[in-house]
Chain A
Amino acid sequence: MLDAAKRKEMLRTMIKVRAFEEKLEELYQKRAMYGSTHSYRGQEAVAVGACSALGSKDLIASYHRGTGHLIAKGADLYRLMCECMGRLDGYSKGRGGKMHMGDLSFGFLGNTGTVGATVPFATGAALAAQIRGSKEVVVSFLGDGAMNQGVVHEAMNFAGLWKLPVIYVCENNLYAMTVSVEKSIAIKHVADRAKGYGFEGKVIDGNDVEVVYAETLKAAEKGRGGGGATFLECLTYRWDGHFGGDPGTAYRTKEEIEEWKGRCPIKRLKEKLIAEKNLTSEEFENMTASVYAEIDEVAKKAQASPMPPKEVELESVFAVSEVAHG
């Protein structure tokens, strides 16, 4: 059982992830953020549970709905916000936007807007760890939609063949943009596919941060010990539409959305901690207020920061010397 301090830290991180998404949504509506949002609200327990189970040398690969993963792994909020806003101080100097970043200083391999494309990166990073004999494990975040990309199949077969230390954390939020899993996946649980790749697949409650934490920890220990890959199908739900311009109601019922909001991962952990007398309502309110205030400050600072100059830098596509990794 996790101690109360660690669980309170996870609670705080989940609030931070949500507050960040809400701020992005607000900026998007004000056209202060470029590109679109891909709200992670409702799925916070997956990112926070999985990343909390990793060490600082462990790695993650993310995807388009990735801000939650990054915050949970320890991204700098200012740099992240700047990138979303196309600013020079952003992780990618404004070149990538929130779907295209990477920074190994906090174990973030990268993300991209091509669904499923980072799954082989994560698998290859695990291959590097295996060849070198270094003990890091890699979490590959992916959605249910990514499960139908060919390259994901190829990567998972490699992971099974070579017993690579990778954990596929599949966030089954029931919809790939607007198409439901029933209309896109021929079986009920994608975790069943893991058997076909020769490793364990489990269906878990993706809205229970403690469950995600415990299962990721177990999978990480297994991977570190040479036991190979694990697939965790985390059942969860995105509260909002696929992106900022999608209310998310054309293909989902209000009842369904409300039902899932009732399983809010933040509320669940909060109520549990209060029932255990490890948290008071007042403490929770203070925690929430301070996180939201912090995000407000970050957004203000980012908004006041410089845009990149209107310049073409032809040399910027090639590294001149090796970038120190790790």
Chain B
Amino acid sequence: MAKAEKLEVPQGEVKEMRLQEALREALRYEMARDKRVFVFGEDVALFGGAYGVTRGLLQEFGESRVRDTPISEAGMVGLAIGAAINGMRPVVEIQFCDLLPLCMDQLTTHAARYYYQTGGRISVPMVIRNKFGTRAGGGPSHSSCNHGAFLHFPGLKIIIPTTPADGKGLLLSAIRDPNPVLCFESHHLYGVKGPVPEGDYTVPIGVAAVRREGKDLTIVTCGGMVLKADEAAAALKAKGIDVEIIDLRSLAPLDKETILKSVAKTKRAMVVDEGPMVGGVTAEIAAVIQENLFSDLKGAVARVGAYHLPPPHSPPLVDAMIPDTDRIVGAALRLAEGKKTER
């Protein structure tokens, strides 16, 4: 696995843009370069996608390669499998990750297993883009964070771009990847701006980024929670705790090397995730850390995640449900207490 990358301004020509635009850049770039790439999903053509990611693609590439679909999520994923097997590079948009359970059989039993179960004779190069993020007003069927559930299924790659540059670079890598890739795009990040390199810019799948360097505590996180972790790190700095932030960027394959290298240095670890803690990202990563570094740790791995409830509708309920800066800071201070009592 390649070395983790630090968050720095990308080299060469860059353009300031939002994550949603950076994702569109990746689609445009690859559709122009590779005729096999096509995009389909609900409202992606005329309307430009529920979040504007596919805006303008219909006009640029025509209706054969940019298709509005009926509301048939499982069918879409199934068609993408067949099109991929027959030589195309489909990119499907599923409007909410809450709709992925409709596609579970196609995605986890078939797409993910095809390469293995055909003895390597057939690969399924396709990308399933979807939005995730718990927000007020979305409620139980429109604002889930179920990304962690897909860790359970071998054969799927999972990416979660945080910065606009990663949005372009990871999506480009995903389209070119010979395997099925699930791309979770955070509701909280679509509108966040950042520099994005022009041209053929890729970010490797399976490589985490060190967003902030520190020596006292490692926070491993992803997606919108990277911003919350960064706010918390600033607050902790004022209290004398120096935080290192690892942005996973890919859940599968998981960059264990970068996580473990950081925790071996700081000896304290916290995992922050917007999804439920039970059986999710925080559980898996805490297990990986403790399996490998138990005797080096100065305290148990802390977990800050969503509680074991469906995503609620009303703003105060949402605020109570998902991690915020105070919860992260509180957990960090408790870990640091361990530092003081240590002999």
Contact = CB atoms under 8 A, between A and B. Distances in A.
Interface of A: 59, 61, 90-96, 100-104, 109-110, 112, 114, 117, 119-132, 136, 138, 150-151, 154-155, 157-158, 161-162, 316-323, 325-326
A108 to B, nearest CB: 9
Contacts of B178: 318-323
23 contacts: A61-B82, A92-B121, A101-B119, A104-B121, A104-B122, A109-B85, A114-B105, A120-B75, A123-B79, A124-B79, A124-B86, A125-B83, A128-B83, A131-B64, A132-B87, A154-B75, A155-B78, A161-B70, A162-B67, A317-B112, A317-B115, A319-B179, A322-B123
Contacts of A96: 117-119
B314 interface: no
Interface of B: 36, 38, 64-65, 67, 69-70, 72, 74-88, 90, 105-106, 109-110, 112-123, 125, 154-155, 157, 178-179, 253
A100 B74 contact: no
Contacts of B87: 128, 132, 325-326
B121 A323 contact: yes
B38 A110 contact: no
Given A104-B122, A157-B72, A158-B70, A318 B78 contact: no
Contact of A124 (B80, B114, B179): B80
Contacts of A94: 119
Given A92-B119, A104-B121, A131 B109 contact: no
Contacts of B119: 90-96, 101
B74 A325 contact: no
Contact of B75 (A102, A138, A151): A151
Nearest to B64: A131
Contacts of B106: 117, 120, 151
Given A124-B81, A318-B155, A325 B86 contact: yes
Contacts of B105: 114, 117, 151
Given A102-B114, A119-B78, A157-B75, A109 B86 contact: yes
A193 to B, nearest CB: 15
B80 to A, nearest CB: 6
Nearest to B111: A121
Contact of A128 (B88, B115, B123, B155): B88
Contacts of B116: 95, 316-317
A305 to B, nearest CB: 14
B154 A102 contact: no
Contacts of B122: 102-104, 109-110, 323, 325
A197 B83 CA distance: 20
A131 B88 contact: yes
A172 to B, nearest CB: 22
B276 to A, nearest CB: 25
B253 to A, nearest CB: 8
B157 A318 contact: yes
Contact of B85 (A92, A110, A132, A316): A110
Given A96-B119, A157-B75, 17 more contacts: A59-B86, A101-B118, A102-B121, A110-B118, A120-B77, A121-B78, A124-B78, A124-B79, A124-B82, A127-B79, A132-B36, A138-B82, A151-B105, A154-B74, A318-B155, A319-B120, A326-B87
Given A114-B109, A319-B178, A128 B82 contact: yes
Contact of A323 (B36, B78, B117, B123): B123
Nearest to A317: B155
B72 A109 contact: no
Given A95-B116, A129-B86, A317 B75 contact: no
Contacts of B78: 117, 119-121, 123-124, 151, 154-155
Nearest to B78: A120
Contact of A120 (B70, B74, B114): B74
B154 A319 contact: no
Contacts of A119: 78
Contacts of B88: 127-128, 131-132
Contacts of B113: 100, 317
A288 to B, nearest CB: 32
A119 B113 CA distance: 17
Nearest to A59: B86
B118 A125 contact: no
Given A114-B110, A120-B74, A157-B75, A104 B85 contact: yes
A101 to B, nearest CB: 6
A323 B85 CA distance: 9
Q: Which 10 A-B pairs have the closest CB atoms?
A: A120-B78, A124-B82, A154-B75, A124-B79, A319-B123, A121-B82, A154-B72, A128-B86, A93-B119, A125-B86
A157 B69 CA distance: 10
A318 B115 contact: yes
Contacts of A319: 115, 120, 123, 125, 178-179
A155 to B, nearest CB: 5
B251 to A, nearest CB: 14
A65 B321 CA distance: 48
B83 to A, nearest CB: 4
Contacts of A112: 109-110
A124 B120 CA distance: 20
Given A121-B85, A124-B83, A151 B64 contact: no
